[in-house]
């Protein structure tokens, strides 16, 4: 089997149910899914090297598969078709975000991407994830896009933020606080104390 088909030489690509221009917003979105996936692949290798926990490594591998699912769902332009990403996929991410948020030190100020190399890589993946989400929103202005995929990408950026903080915390490295940030995040205890 040859890797090249020459079908895209004029700027078009195949999707499930038709063809699209490679500049189409839908194509841009799942291209960004691939970028996020590559960054997460690198982060997973770094997590193993930094001994950041097998839970984080397993999460990242699972997310790589789910990003393929997201791309598959977005590449299928047929109106009535079964989708791979659903609410349970989103709920799993929410549970992991909650667990990592509970484990990490309390967040009070905005933080800068950085700390450990793994944390910086996860922040980079987060920013590309946010771009992919914006591209998917733009695609949704012209036609329906799978709502669970949009929710998943939104939660994934939150997951990557929490995972970046966990990478720092587990390495004993403090998050780098934005030096001109006010205290913008409050804890339950802070809210109780204000009463």
**Alpha-carbon span 82 to 68, nearest angstrom:** 15
| More confident position, 191 or 64 | 64
The model's pTM is 0.87
Q: Is the pLDDT of residue 61 over 70?
A: yes
| More confident position, 82 or 74 | 74
**Alpha-carbon span 31 to 87, nearest angstrom:** 23
For residue 101, report the phi and psi dihedrals to the nearest 5 degrees. -65, -40
**Alpha-carbon span 191 to 134, nearest angstrom:** 33
**Alpha-carbon span 109 to 126, nearest angstrom:** 18
- Per-residue pLDDT, 188: 61
CB atoms within 10 A of CB 105: 10
């Amino acid at each position: 089997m040859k890797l090249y088909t020459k079908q895209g030489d004029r700027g078009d690509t195949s999707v499930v149910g038709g063809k699209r221009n490679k500049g189409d917003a839908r194509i841009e979105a799942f291209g960004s899914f691939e970028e996020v996936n590559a960054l997460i692949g690198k982060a997973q290798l770094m997590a193993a090297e930094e001994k950041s926990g097998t839970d984080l490594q397993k999460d990242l591998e699972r997310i790589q598969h789910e990003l393929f699912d997201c791309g598959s769902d977005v590449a299928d332009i047929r109106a009535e078709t079964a989708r791979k990403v659903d609410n349970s996929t989103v709920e799993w991410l929410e549970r992991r975000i909650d667990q990592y948020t509970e484990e990490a030190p309390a967040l009070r100020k905005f933080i800068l991407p950085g700390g450990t190399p793994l944390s910086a890589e996860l922040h980079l993946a987060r920013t590309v994830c946010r771009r992919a989400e914006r591209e998917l929103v733009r695609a949704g202005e012209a036609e329906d896009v799978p709502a669970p995929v949009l929710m998943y990408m939104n939660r994934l950026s939150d997951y990557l933020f929490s995972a970046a903080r966990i990478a720092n915390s587990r390495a004993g490295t403090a998050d780098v606080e934005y030096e001109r940030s006010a205290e913008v995040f409050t804890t339950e205890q802070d809210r109780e104390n204000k009463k």
